[in-house]
Amino acid sequence: MPEDITLSVFRGDKGGGDEVEYKVPMQTGMVVLDALHFIQAHDAPDLAVRWNCKAAHCGSCSAEINGSLKLLCKTRVDDYVGEVIHVRPMHTFPVIKDLVTDVSWNYDMLRQVPAFQPAIKAPFTLQQRDVDRIQEFRNCIECFLCQNVCHVLRDHSAQDRYWGPRLMIRFAELEMHPLDTGDRMELLKGAAGIGMCNITKCCTVVCPQGINITDNGIIPLKERVADVYWDPLGGLVRKMHK
Amino acid sequence: MREEIAYHEYDVLVIGAGGAGLRAAIESAENGLKTAVLGKSLLGKAHTVMAEGGVAAALGNLDPQDGWETHFYDTMRSGHFINDYRMAEVHAKESPDRVLELEYWGAVFDRTPDGKIMQRPFGAHTFRRLAHVGDRTGKELIRTLEQKILTVKVDIFQEITATKLFKDQDRIAGCIAYYREDGRLAVFTAKAVVIATGGWGKAYKVTSNSWESTGDGAALAFRAGAELADMEMVQFHPTGMTWPPGVRGILVTEGVRGEGGLLFNSEGERFMEKYDPVRKELSSRDVVARSIYKEVRAGRGTPHGGAWLDITHKGAAFVKRKLPGMYEQFMALADVDITKTRFEVAPTIHYTMGGLRVDAYTASTNVPGLFAAGECAAGLHGANRLGGNSLSDILVFGRRAGAGATEYAKNSAMPKIDNAEVQAEVERVLAPLSRSEGENPYRLHEDLQEIMAAHVGIERNGPELEKGLARLQELRERTANMRAPGSRQFNPGWHSVFDVQNMCLLGEAIVRGAIERKESRGAQWRTDFPDELEEQGKVNYVQQVTDKGIVVRPEPVPPMPAELAELFTRGVAPGLANAARKE
């Protein structure tokens, strides 16, 4: 017998709002996004939720489920047996309506990262072991859950001083590409504010792609910045090699 | 109250922000034209992101005997020779350059031991040909294009949906669109318009497609007088998930079979040995999908109506390295560890081979100034698409559409859009919000999906198709009277109204094409005409909206010149024939 589950979904916009309860019949293997689609089809056709692929490839359906930061399409309803499932929009970004937030700031920042500047024309000769790490970073689906959880952005609203983990990973994939000739160190240390990250690793924990954002991305970048700006001997050696 | 409308003017307007649309916009912007791209979703989220297995290009990194002739040969054969050979030729010749261009723009493909781009085997490709990144190639491709387009001068409009194309006399003039965020309206006047809105798999319930695949651009262009071709050709991918119900239809990449996965029926028989003894699991998609379907019909299906797919013999480390997305997908959504156990798969609607009829070289449609590229266009794939050929398609023809639109825009003046037409469309678009009575768009979408599955699914016949057509026409009337309660602010019910209207129109075109094609060929399987017929192989069915409604007519398939036709007379693929000659 299918039993009902209860969802409590944020309904509102930038002017405010409140959670509204809905009953949905349980189905085997159901994910929270399925339950929201049921609500749209039966109770609230104007319930706003962003989604595309429903297969955890596109990173559109980020939300906060019972306080955890997750993709709606990948979160099983049966993880919450006997509980009311509270679904709220990402906290860090301005609400447009219901579960949909304005994430345009992330794209504005992405636009400011100087693009890949290869030393030679393709085809490239690259060993797999030399690209494993950047492939890990390029597995990012831009769900912006890492941006949402980062306390620098979430609790301190320091968007004007730190661009957040997603952007750090974008820097990392470029800086660690064996054939890239770009130099983004000044930007990284300055406007992008890598120094603001104090390595609490919350971003790594919420990443649905399992990217080791802090250990593999941000910390090596911090070390590079330190090398360039705070290591006079290394800086001299580098200058002589140029 | 008079509606506030924003007006924009561009040389080139690209509708659709998947791979084809982004590549087209990059091309026209790099040529110095004022360019805009409109997308229904956020940038980088389009359906391209779901492509898994790879991008087909005869780079010859692992099999040096591969070349454009063999890629061309494989594409035409799998399309059962109703493809436009000129598109297949251009595509086979240009794909390698497009892939290398992506590498230059920052894409990081998997590598061979000697450091080249790795290529994997795939169904009905003679050689190892698919450049890939694990099983997330589409993501790599769209992310690279997204990162590239952020560096060129293109105005990017996110989460905006076009509802109507306008013409100035016979030529294209632009479109009107609504912002999903708040429902405000904008009119875009443009010298040239590129349609790159993808397919319409969401007309079916069991599909691997994302919500966006509602065929908007194809439907808008069809209403504006553009021709559709090969609409009956809808690809069933052999392997979609079957269980649990919420994931039914989600894609299981062909890469699983490419990397060695085997198919078994409930009796443990490796049934593909029976249907295609040579290519077996790596036969073309139409053959494998139909084989699974036949096994299920014969009572040899798995518990949820499919076949077993087994890759456990390759070992856990190999599977996690080569197919990480699949491993994760089954663990998270179905509680199945594919490194330890076989799993169920069944056919799922995957791709629409038919679409807007275009010129092979410029991607222009029959409407002056209107271009189309990618899944919304017809011609390259014929009756069945090869895996990996869609990602190369969007790169090759996205670029060509951008170039074609550039040439056209350079040589034409800015058209004018008739204000009365704009006002009429504004009223039509806003009407569902104020109707006190009307149909529920979600319900009509379900009805459409039920009709498509019942009457024009994998197995077809004349009487069922006629029934389907009658039911679709009835449904189309109901779609004129839909109601969307709520405000204009991000209102999915309201958005669905237009998606459903577009899918109903294209669904009808699918049925009409299937009725006309009285044979079985590629994706079209008719039990009342079970054979592939020579005469039918000489025509494409072309559809156009006229004063009398939709008219379907046969058009001759362009005949191949002698030097290309000769490639098919050797009994083996060109690359293999050349190798044999050398020996």
pLDDT single digits (tens) B77-129 = 999 999 999 999 999 999 999 999 999 999 999 999 999 999 999 999 999 99
DSSP letters along B279-295, please? TGGGS-HHHHHHHHHHH
Whether residues A52 and B101 touch (CB distance < 8 A) is answered with no
Which class for B570: exposed (0-12), middle (13-18), buried (19 or more C-beta within 10 A)? middle
Min Cα–Cα distance to chain B from A189, Å = 22
CA separation for the pair A79, B291 (Å, rounded): 37
Same domain, B518 and B477: yes
What average pLDDT does this structure show over B515-535?
A: 97
Same domain, B153 and B289: no
pLDDT at residue B583 tops 70 = no
B219: pLDDT confidence band, cut at 50, 70 and 90? very high
Domain around B388: 7-233+353-410
* HSE (side-chain half, CA atoms, 13 Å) at B427: 6
Q: A40: nearest CA in chain B?
A: B493
State the residue for tokens 């109770």. A43
pLDDT at residue B489 tops 90 = yes
Q: Which chain B residues touch A173 with a CB distance below 8 Å?
A: 108
Residue pair B34/B152 in contact by the 8 Å Cβ criterion: no
Min Cα–Cα distance to chain B from A77, Å = 11
Whether residues B486 and A135 touch (CB distance < 8 A) is answered with no
Nearest to A141 among B111, B114, B139 (CB): B139
Residue A233 pLDDT:
75
Same domain, B456 and B443: yes
B1: pLDDT confidence band, cut at 50, 70 and 90? low
What average pLDDT does this structure show over A16-39?
A: 96
pLDDT at residue B580 tops 50 = yes
Same domain, B83 and B183: yes
Report chain B's mean pLDDT, rounded to a whole number.
Answer: 96
Same domain, B294 and B197: no
Q: A12: nearest CA in chain B?
A: B489
pLDDT at residue B328 tops 80 = yes
Q: Which chain A residues touch B136 with a CB distance below 8 Å?
A: 57, 139
Enumerate the domain spans of chain A. 4-101, 104-241
Q: Residues in chain A, how many?
A: 242
Kindly state whether residue B340 falls inside one of the protein's structural domains: yes
Q: A208: nearest CA in chain B?
A: B328
For residue A13, CA distances in Å to A33, A103, A104, B492 come to 20, 15, 17, 15
pLDDT at residue B248 tops 70 = yes
* Percentage, residues of chain B above pLDDT 90: 96
Q: What is the pLDDT of residues A129-186, one digit of tens each?
A: 999 999 999 999 999 999 999 999 999 999 999 999 999 999 999 999 999 999 999 9
Residue A231 pLDDT:
79
pLDDT at residue A217 tops 50 = yes
What average pLDDT does this structure show over A56-75?
A: 96
Of residues A230 and B438, more confidence is placed in B438
Kindly state whether residue B415 falls inside one of the protein's structural domains: no
Q: Which of residues 160-189 of A touch B (CB under 8 A)?
A: 173-174, 177
Residue A163 phi/psi, 5-degree rounding, is -85, -10
Same domain, B204 and B62: yes
CA separation for the pair B26, B528 (Å, rounded): 47
Residue A232 pLDDT:
72
What average pLDDT does this structure show over B301-324?
A: 95
B143 catalytic residue (yes or no): no
Which ipTM was obtained for this model?
0.95
Min Cα–Cα distance to chain A from B496, Å = 10
Residue from B62, B114, B147, B447 to probe the interface with A (highest A Cβ count within 10 Å): B147
pLDDT at residue A235 tops 90 = no
Min Cα–Cα distance to chain A from B376, Å = 18
Kindly state whether residue B544 falls inside one of the protein's structural domains: no
Whether residues A45 and B441 touch (CB distance < 8 A) is answered with yes
Same domain, B305 and B392: no
Residue from A9, A26, A57, A104 to probe the interface with B (highest B Cβ count within 10 Å): A57
Q: Which chain B residues touch A126 with a CB distance below 8 Å?
A: 108, 111, 115
Q: What is the pLDDT of residues B25-56, one digit of tens each?
A: 999 999 999 999 999 999 999 999 999 899 99
Tell whether A26 is within 8 A of chain B (Cβ).
no
Q: What is the pLDDT of residues A69-86, one digit of tens each?
A: 999 999 999 999 999 999
Residue from A5, A31, A53, A141 to probe the interface with B (highest B Cβ count within 10 Å): A53
Bridge-based pairing of strands B539-546 and B549-556 is: antiparallel
Residue B582 pLDDT:
53
- Of the three residues B348, B372, B393, the one that is the final residue of a domain is B348
Which class for A72: exposed (0-12), middle (13-18), buried (19 or more C-beta within 10 A)? buried
Tell whether A31 is within 8 A of chain B (Cβ).
yes
Same domain, B115 and B227: yes
Residue B3 pLDDT:
84
Whether residues A45 and B492 touch (CB distance < 8 A) is answered with yes
Same domain, B257 and B370: no
Whether residues A46 and B329 touch (CB distance < 8 A) is answered with no
Residue A237 pLDDT:
73
Same domain, B127 and B100: yes
What average pLDDT does this structure show over B308-334?
A: 94
Residue pair B157/B36 in contact by the 8 Å Cβ criterion: yes
Residue from B433, B490, B494 to probe the interface with A (highest A Cβ count within 10 Å): B490
What average pLDDT does this structure show over B415-428?
A: 98
pLDDT at residue A1 tops 50 = no
CA separation for the pair A135, A211 (Å, rounded): 10
Count interface pairs A-B at CB distance under 8 A.
Answer: 174
What average pLDDT does this structure show over B256-284?
A: 96
CA separation for the pair B303, B536 (Å, rounded): 38
Domain count, chain B: 3
pLDDT at residue B400 tops 90 = yes
Same domain, B45 and B68: yes
Looking at domain A104-241, which of 1.10.1060.10, 3.30.530.20, 3.40.462.10, 1.10.10.10 is its CATH number?
Answer: 1.10.1060.10
Q: Which chain B residues touch A127 with a CB distance below 8 Å?
A: 111, 115
Question: What CATH number does the domain containing B393 carry?
Answer: 3.50.50.60
CATH class, range A4-101:
alpha beta
Tell whether A125 is within 8 A of chain B (Cβ).
yes
Q: Which chain B residues touch A140 with a CB distance below 8 Å?
A: 143
Kindly state whether residue B494 falls inside one of the protein's structural domains: yes
Question: What CATH number does the domain containing B458 carry?
Answer: 1.20.58.100
B80 catalytic residue (yes or no): no
For residue B139, CA distances in Å to B43, B187, B325, B479, B581 come to 12, 31, 12, 35, 40
Same domain, B368 and B488: no
Question: Which alpha helices (DSSP H) does B262-373 contain, by range?
Answer: 272-275, 285-297, 316-322, 324-334
Q: What is the pLDDT of residues B472-481, one digit of tens each?
A: 999 999 999 9
